[in-house]
Chain A
Amino acid sequence: MTATTEAPASQPIADMEADSLIGTFAEGQRLVGSQCNACGCTMIGSRVVCSSCISRDVSRVALPSTGVLYSFTRIHVGTAGIRPLGYVDLDNGVRTLADIREGDVPLRPDMRVELGIDDDDWFFAPAAGEKREA
């Protein structure tokens, strides 16, 4: 018999294990991101593969807790009552969907927002210094 090589088995990625987008880091509780050590691409959530260069050399990182509210809505349908939801562009450029908490300051696109945490819930709210008037 001639020597043969055996094709390596690809392995499944256990992407259902790390579901939460919030994690504990040296800085405290932060949104979980992933940074590619090959090309530097930063992504939301726990990732195994870089969506830019497909490297598997990806590290878990804390994402910035501040950013800009790109857009938002208040959902009136469903069981959760009125639910404000928005897209936040974090200060390192990563975008995340987030619950938005409204206070005295009316929401508007492009306003500064910051991460807040209440027990198991996380959300973004207008940053300190955002004024009542646009």
Chain B
Amino acid sequence: MSDNVFVISAAMIPFGKHRTSSYVGLAVSPLIDAIRDAGIEKSDIDAVYVGHSYGGMMTGQRICKEIGLGTIPTVNVDNACSSGATAIHEAWQAISQGLIDIAVVIGVEKLTQFGGGTLPLSPEDREVKQGIIMPAVYAMRATRYLHETDATPEDLALVSVKARKHGALNPFAQFRQETTVEEVLNARRVADPLTLPMCCPTGDGAAVVVLASERARKRLDSKPGIRVAASVLHSGHVAEGFRDMIKPEISYDSARDAYAMAGIGPKDLDMIELHDAFSIAELIYYEAFGLAEPGHGVDLIRDGKTTFGGDVVVNPSGGLLSKGHPVGASGVAQVAEAFWQLTDQAGARQIDKARWAMTHVTGGGTAGLDHGACTIHIFEAA
């Protein structure tokens, strides 16, 4: 039996283009805020886990030394878009096994360092050498989805419209303007059939959560927290031949395991923060998470089932499409959103009586894999 683990605080900076901030500059403020909000001292922290992909050597230590946090283990974690959520998974493992009581998890990324353009991928990868970029991978998923289902480019645009509607309510989002299907379809083309508003913006960001064991939480007499009901990490498995690009096994399998661990099903969820790096992804993940049968995810966006007032609010934060996607920060920011929603601190975007939340990030452009890593967490208000 593993011990219960709780998220007891969360903090983040608004995502955006923070060109004058370093990795340290991005992360220190939310780090201090999360520690203060948890009601803990530096000396209470047993370990720090830091998710980032492009921060370079010792990113975590560079951040922590600024607040005189040292001695304890600091673990730097790279799993592309799943880096931050993988860091949470590692912290959860250590606490649930009773090895430590309190862990701080930082997700941080500075994409403006690259001066724009698509996400840099490993130059050693075969398909990267051939010229693959992440928008092209998702565009090919979209082409295939439109081919196999009755979905249209208008449906892809509807996902962006919903994301912007939610993002308009979120002070942490990079894009806070609503948009229309026409605007999305007439925007600059990135990789057919995807236009610019169907792609998440790059940017800079940092988010921090504090995780605690049940006994530490009781000792701290802490404010409302949320229980980690499931924490699942999967890696991609190579296919030398056919791969169904609209049924990503890594997300299907991770969701199956997460539901089993939490003892709930898709109908129990009040909200999901999912990896909408590109609008097509959201439709595919509706199906992967069992919200709709394969090929019918598109019905949910058409019928408004995944916005406020629907069956389950998907990406109440505005998702990566509105919030932006500073790779290593995104998974932690999703958990911050779940924390605020389940503890009734989400302001204008608060979901009424939210009890169950799922967060999902999956990432990495690697030849032969669907995605390199996928992390799913399920949380319960506690």
Contacts and interface: CB of A to CB of B under 8 A. Distances in A.
B281 to A, nearest CB: 15
A48 interface: no
Interface of A: 19, 21, 41-45, 51-52, 70-78, 80, 83, 85-87, 89, 93-95, 97-99, 108-110
Interface stretch (B99-107, B200-208, B235-243): B235-243
Task: Specify the main secondary structure of chain A where it touches its partner.
Answer: strand
Interface of B: 117-118, 126-127, 129-133, 135-136, 139-144, 147, 188-194, 238-243, 245, 367-368
Contact of A76 (B129, B192, B241): B192
Q: Which 3 A-B pairs have the closest CB atoms?
A: A73-B139, A71-B140, A93-B241
A52 B241 CA distance: 12
A71 B190 contact: no
A95 B240 contact: yes
Contacts of A77: 117-118, 133, 135, 190-191
B115 to A, nearest CB: 14
A99 B127 CA distance: 11
Contacts, number: 92
Nearest to A16: B124
Given A19-B129, A76-B188, A76-B190, A71 B141 contact: yes
Given A75-B136, A75-B191, A76-B189, A97 B144 contact: no
A21 B44 CA distance: 55
B133 A109 contact: no
Contacts of B144: 70-71, 109
A42 B368 CA distance: 13
Contacts of B129: 19
